[in-house]
């Protein structure tokens, strides 16, 4: 098994339903999706906060078919289509 290091500033983590991806989100609006087998980052972004504040990711989830990933912050829900790598 491979250990995935999670940097500071992240506070929630969740596996995709098939266990192939791990999403980690944080206090500074950080979103990262990691390949659980290799530990490589598949996707990452930073959401800007409103005004002078920072964005805090409150909730996150993968769809039951692993096709979509969603998270909430800034009183919005962001939804992304997941594209698996390593085919």
pLDDT digits (tens, 9 = 90+) for 72-83: 998 899 998 986
- Cβ atoms within 10 Å, residue 55: 20
pTM of the model: 0.80
Q: Which sign, positive or negative, has the C-alpha torsion 48, 22, 68, 76? A: negative
pLDDT digits (tens, 9 = 90+) for 12-53: 999 999 999 999 998 888 999 999 988 899 999 998 887 777
Q: Of residues 10 and 65, which shows the higher confidence score? A: 65
Q: What is the pLDDT of residue 86?
A: 40
């Amino acid at each position: 098994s491979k250990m995935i290091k999670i940097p500071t500033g992240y506070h929630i983590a969740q596996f995709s339903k098939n266990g192939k991806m791990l999403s980690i989100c944080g206090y500074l609006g950080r979103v990262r999706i990691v390949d659980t087998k290799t530990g490589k980052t598949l996707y990452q972004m930073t959401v800007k906060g409103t005004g002078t504040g920072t964005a805090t990711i409150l909730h996150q989830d993968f769809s039951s078919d692993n096709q979509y990933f969603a998270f909430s912050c800034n009183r919005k829900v962001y939804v992304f289509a997941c594209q698996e790598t390593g085919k």
